[in-house]
Amino acid sequence: MSNVSPEQLPFGRQSIDQDDIDAVVQVLRGDWLTTGPAVEQFEAALSAWAGAPTVAVTSGTAALHTAYAAAGIGKGSEVVTSPMTFVATAATASMLGADIVFADVEPDTANLDVGAVEALVSGRTAAITGVDYAGHPVEVDALRALAHSHHALFIEDAAHSVGSRWRGEPVGSLADLTTFSFYPTKNFTTAEGGAVASPNPQLLDRARHFRNHGLVRDRSVQRTPDVGGWHQEVHELGLNYRLPDVLCALGLAQLRKLGRFKQRRKQIVAAYNTAFASVAEVATPPCREQADPMWHLYPLRVLDGRRRGLYDALRSAGILVQVHYVPVHWHPAYADLGYIRGMCPHAEAFYEQQLSLPLFPGMGDHDVDRVIDAVTRFFQRG
């Protein structure tokens, strides 16, 4: 593993090799730039990792929007979800007209707390959306059973967790709908991109139509099929969320390395966990017995109230740590709708402590040691 520049060590970055570049160049020299054979090849390869068929879209946000649309989320619906996530998890449902119900999280994993969700579901609940925070899967079995007992769908926002497993089963096969993100800092990248996975053919078909304007080209289901060979119809409105061939080619090359990426991330997490186990002022991320995470983030928790001081010290040293995330209900867009601070105390306490340390496959051992030394020296100084 080659080391990153000692001046700047980001919390995450893409890992691009010559075979990724060659794959993109090959598509650029071919006949298709978008909606061609590379899309189908990428979806097939991704489906093998996800354990369910997939539909590629233009971003993780587009994946959430597409999944909610496929689920029939709209005005009058309630979506119960976590505040400890990027705002898109809630915003895409809000933009379809749904009401968001924020449930609190487990204080250690920052994943949805099943008991908190159970206290909030109602007859209007159309979906429970769990977020696999940092790559650690949510309590899939309990949340899925809870959703289904209320005639709702279970959606898994797996933007952090492509490549993770729960009870030996791949994330992507466990929920009614699962969404992925392939942004450059994610577990692998298509530059921008995402996908929806589902074992339910009807839901997947709705997702596939939504990502392509809702166009219906199958004559057997068209209402006026005999107009001519050019004819196409829109039965339900959709958007253009098609991921182009040139980006799918990059994703296909990246997927071939996903197992190696996962192993390197695990090694870095293990090194951090060992180093920080004796630092009383911090807590390392837990891992449930049922989980085999593809660690996307390393969420160190600073317990002594000095998160801001550590953040400033590390960034001054060129270690570009980050905080994930401002609780969604704290954003003015949701505060203006009446959501208040204090409604999810575990999520809010987690946010006040959380700091994402650098974690990506291109980190060399020297980079890992640099982070460990900087964190431990900060607390040794008192």
Q: Could you read off the pLDDT of 33-53 as tens digits, one per residue?
A: 999 999 999 999 999 999 999
Q: How far apart are CA 197 and CA 76, in angstroms?
A: 25
Strand extents, DSSP E, the chain? 9-10, 54-57, 78-81, 99-102, 125-131, 153-157, 165-166, 169-170, 177-181, 194-197, 215-216, 233-234, 282-283, 291-292, 298-302, 319-320, 354-357
Q: What one-letter code names the amino acid at 160?
A: H
The boundaries of every CATH 3.90.1150.10 domain in the chain are 258-380
Q: How far apart are CA 182 and CA 366, in angstroms?
A: 27
322: nearest Cα among 366, 295, 349, 354:
354
Q: How far apart are CA 264 and CA 269, in angstroms?
A: 9
The boundaries of every CATH 3.40.640.10 domain in the chain are 11-255
Contact 361, 261 (CB under 8 A): yes
Q: How many CB atoms lie within 10 A of CB 33?
A: 13
Domain 258-380 has CATH 3.90.1150.10: yes
CB within 8 A of 32, min separation 6: which ones?
A: 38, 245
Name the CATH code of domain 11-255 (choices 3.40.605.10, 3.40.50.620, 3.40.640.10, 3.90.1150.10): 3.40.640.10
Q: Could you read off the pLDDT of 95-110 as tens digits, one per residue?
A: 999 999 999 999 999 9
Q: Could you read off the pLDDT of 227-255 as tens digits, one per residue?
A: 999 999 999 999 999 999 999 999 999 99
pLDDT, tens digit only, all 382 positions of the chain: 445 445 899 999 999 999 999 999 999 999 999 999 999 999 999 999 999 999 999 999 999 999 999 999 999 999 999 999 999 999 999 999 999 999 999 999 999 999 999 999 999 999 999 999 999 999 999 999 999 999 999 999 999 999 999 999 999 999 999 999 999 999 999 999 999 999 999 999 999 999 999 999 999 999 999 999 999 999 999 999 999 999 999 999 999 999 999 999 999 999 999 999 999 999 999 999 999 999 999 999 999 999 999 999 999 999 999 999 999 999 999 999 999 999 999 999 999 999 999 999 999 999 999 999 999 999 998 7
